């Protein structure tokens, strides 16, 4: 009697499992151990019990909608994810799938719960990369999502936490604007207000920037700037922010890393900076540039002035703003005729002068 009941139970469970599978309710799971500490600052998180280890780094995550790039990715756009991968041979590439989930607290995921998914395409080169492309649903809510990378046997290779936003106005392609500093040289002690209209967000200022009026200072002929709010003297006003950095390199020059200091000395002097300002500029940027094989350099100052309008009251007689963008290169590139960087022509400092320099690596 017990044997018959056991056989009946086994048959019932077998038929139930088959029935659920035929209805699309399979028990297929991705195998891996997620973690509550997955975050972007830590980069890729590798599950402790993974059985694969293909992806080495996450290079870029962005999305496109029409002609516009969005970072962080925006719902309803085309998502592109690029990852570094261990060197492979053609014909022996691993099959990697990217799943996007909203829940990262479980120990296994059902692929049918994925918000989006796509298989990777491997590009062979000096270093191999894998590219995932997929369309994000238009009804996604703003929040943190978990990217889960799996092999062909549904084993989790690694995971990554990524913000996705619901609307375009929550997303930007902002880049860090690094260390713009403002020098002031009046002909006599001058009380002044200095403020910025930035298409972006200020992330750091020194002395403290007041959102209502900016900096309230007294500028002195020797270059000292007294912050009238705190009472201390400064050599310059400092700010950093995130903005819509111009990066077209429409006018550019390609310079060997080892020749960067000499080039900057020549360009900045022609732009009207004095030796002290040139020293400040070069000692800040050179450590990020001279070790590169090459640097592609541009000075899109007009576009920068539209992004970050500098207001000084009373207005100076001379205002000089120098803004550099550069990108490191492994190899030299040839600049097309008509797009070479032009050297500044005879900038002269007359009367009450305000000088600012800054830059971005793009």
| 32 pLDDT tier (thresholds 50, 70, 90) | low
CA 228/CA 231 separation, integer angstroms: 5
- Ramachandran class of 174: left when φ > 0, alpha when ψ lies in -120 to 50, beta otherwise: beta
Judged by average pLDDT, the poorest of 57-66, 172-181, 277-286 is 172-181
Q: Report angle CA 304, 305, 308 to the nearest 5 degrees.
A: 85
Q: Which of 208-217, 279-288, 342-351 has the lowest mean pLDDT?
A: 342-351
Domain borders along the chain are: 30-170, 175-361
- The dihedral through the CA atoms of 73, 78, 79, 82 has a sign that is negative
pTM of the model: 0.58
Q: 202: which residues sit within 8 A by CB, 6+ positions away?
A: 196, 209, 239, 240, 241
CB 217 within 8 A of CB 185: no
**30-170 sits in which CATH class?**
mainly beta
| Exposure of 76 in the CB half-sphere (CA atoms within 13 A) | 11
For tokens 């022609």, what's the residue? 270
The secondary structure of residue 7, as a DSSP letter, is: H
**Lowest pLDDT segment from 26-30, 156-160, 327-331:** 26-30
Q: How confident is the model at residue 23 (pLDDT cuts 50, 70, 90)?
A: very low
pLDDT digit string, tens, across residues 312-334: 999 999 999 999 999 999 999 99
What residues contact 201, with CB distance under 8 A and at least 6 apart?
174, 241, 242, 243
Amino acid 7: pLDDT: 34
C-alpha to C-alpha distance for 176 and 360, rounded to whole angstroms: 6
131's tokens: 């590219």
Which string of b and e fits 113-141 if b means at least 16 CB within 10 Å? ebbbbbebebeeeeebbbebbbebeeebe
Name the average pLDDT for the chain.
84
């Amino acid at each position: 009697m017990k044997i018959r009941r056991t056989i009946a139970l086994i048959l019932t469970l077998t038929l139930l499992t088959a029935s659920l599978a035929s209805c699309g309710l399979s028990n297929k799971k991705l195998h891996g151990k997620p973690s509550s500490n997955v975050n972007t600052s830590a980069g890729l998180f590798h599950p402790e019990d993974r059985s694969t280890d293909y992806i080495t780094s996450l290079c870029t995550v962005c999305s496109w909608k029409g002609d516009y790039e969005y970072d962080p990715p925006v719902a309803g756009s085309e998502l592109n994810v690029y990852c570094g991968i261990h060197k492979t041979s053609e014909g022996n590439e691993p099959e990697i799938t990217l799943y996007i989930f909203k829940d990262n607290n479980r120990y296994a995921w059902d692929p049918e719960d994925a918000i989006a998914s796509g298989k990777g395409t491997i590009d062979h080169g000096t270093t191999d990369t894998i590219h995932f492309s997929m369309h994000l649903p238009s009804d996604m809510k703003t929040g943190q999502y978990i990217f889960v990378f799996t092999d062909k046997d549904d084993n989790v290779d690694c995971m990554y936490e990524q913000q996705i936003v619901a609307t375009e106005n929550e997303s930007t392609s902002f880049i860090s604007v690094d260390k713009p500093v403002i020098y002031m040289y009046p002909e006599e002690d001058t009380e002044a207000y200095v403020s910025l209209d930035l298409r972006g967000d200020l992330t750091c200022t020194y002395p403290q920037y007041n959102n209502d009026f900016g900096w309230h200072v007294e500028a002195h002929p020797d270059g000292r700037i007294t912050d009238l709010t705190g009472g201390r003297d400064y050599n310059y006003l400092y700010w950093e922010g995130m903005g819509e950095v111009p990066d077209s390199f429409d006018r550019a020059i390609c310079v060997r890393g080892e020749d960067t200091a000499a080039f900057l000395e020549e360009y900045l002097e022609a732009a009207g900076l004095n030796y002290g300002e040139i020293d400040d500029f070069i000692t800040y940027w050179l450590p990020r540039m001279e070790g590169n094989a090459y640097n592609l350099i541009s000075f899109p100052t007009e576009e920068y002035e539209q992004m970050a309008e500098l207001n000084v009251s009373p207005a100076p007689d001379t205002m000089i703003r120098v803004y550099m963008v550069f990108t490191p290169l492994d190899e030299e590139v040839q600049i097309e005729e008509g797009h070479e960087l032009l050297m500044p022509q005879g900038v002269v400092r007359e009367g009450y002068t305000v000088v600012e320099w800054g830059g971005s690596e793009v």
